[in-house]
Structure formats: structure tokens, C-alpha cells
């Protein structure tokens, strides 16, 4: 039981790190406008509204990579069925995405993908990691 809890926590940390790194790459490739304050919800909303499509796709890519990583870490670190822990990781990431979408306005397609990618890709990460055991 303790090992499963540690696995989920480690997986969440790994997922957040991967999401942050991929989004940072996206910000490097597609920097936000310099005249907008990215530290306020209004500024973030303005950045999202002005961002080109590839910049927004980096967000989806970050979520996919993070969920895959989280699912894989959860599967490798814990004991028992690997997909159970991965689904917990996917659920927590999905909850965070829902909060993000509720706080900041997103294009509908981005909101749907941001909420919808975590569970299937966490599951896939666990399955890929379990297949390499």
C-alpha cells in the first residue's frame, strides 16, 4: 500500500516536471508577447487568446508527454496491477486540467483535449512500461 502511494506521488512529480519542460520548450519556440503580464489570470487569458495554433499544440503535447511519463512511472515503481496506479495519476492530472480550464479561458478544442488526454495516455504509459518488465 505504501509503495503504491509513493509510486503515485513519484509519478505525479515526474509528470509535472515533464509537462513543465515541454511547455517551457513551447514558450521558447513561441514566446508570449512581451507587453503582457503572464503573472495574472487576465494576462494568461490574453496570451492564450493571441497564441498561434502550434503554441497551443505544445500545451497538448506537454499533457500527453506528462501523462505517458506519469503512467509509466506509476507502473514501474508500484506493486500490483500497473494500470490502477496510472489511472489515479491520470485522474489527478485530469482534475488539474479541469481546474485550469475553469480558471482560464481556452478555445473549446483545447479545453476538450486538455481534459481528455490524461487518462488514456496515463493508461498507455503504464501498458508500455509493463510490457518492458
The pLDDT score that the predictor gives to residue 34 is: 85
The answer to whether residue 31 sits within a structural domain is no
pLDDT digits (tens, 9 = 90+) for 62-88: 999 999 999 999 999 988 888 999 999
Residue 98 lies in a domain: yes
- In this model, does residue 133 exceed pLDDT 60? no
Does a structural domain hold residue 44? no
**Is the residue at 43 inside a domain?**
no
CA geometry: angle at 74 spanning 119 and 122, to 5°?
20
Structural domain of 116: 2-13+49-131
Distance CA 106, CA 113 (A): 11
Give phi and psi for 81, each to the nearest 5: -60, 120
Q: Is residue 41 part of a domain?
A: no
The grid coordinates listed for 70 are: 506519469
- What digits encode the pLDDT tens for the residues 80-131? 888 999 999 999 999 999 999 998 889 999 999 999 999 999 999 999 998 7
pTM: 0.91
Could you read off the pLDDT of 7-62 as tens digits, one per residue? 999 999 999 999 999 999 999 999 988 888 888 888 888 888 889 999 999 999 99
Domain count, the chain: 1
Residue 32 lies in a domain: no
Residue 89: what pLDDT? 97
Amino acid at each position: 500500500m505504501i509503495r503504491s502511494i509513493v509510486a503515485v506521488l513519484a509519478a505525479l512529480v515526474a509528470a509535472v516536471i515533464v509537462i513543465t519542460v515541454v511547455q517551457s520548450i513551447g514558450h521558447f519556440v513561441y514566446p508570449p508577447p512581451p507587453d503582457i503580464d503572464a503573472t495574472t489570470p487576465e494576462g494568461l487569458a490574453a496570451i492564450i487568446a493571441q497564441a498561434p495554433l502550434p503554441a497551443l499544440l505544445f500545451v497538448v503535447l506537454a499533457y500527453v508527454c506528462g501523462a505517458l511519463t506519469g503512467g509509466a512511472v506509476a507502473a514501474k515503481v508500484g506493486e500490483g496491477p500497473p494500470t490502477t496506479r496510472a489511472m489515479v495519476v491520470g485522474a489527478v492530472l485530469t482534475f488539474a486540467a479541469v481546474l485550469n480550464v475553469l480558471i482560464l479561458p481556452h478555445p473549446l478544442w483545447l479545453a476538450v483535449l486538455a481534459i481528455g488526454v490524461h487518462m488514456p495516455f496515463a493508461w498507455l504509459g503504464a501498458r508500455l512500461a509493463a510490457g518492458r518488465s
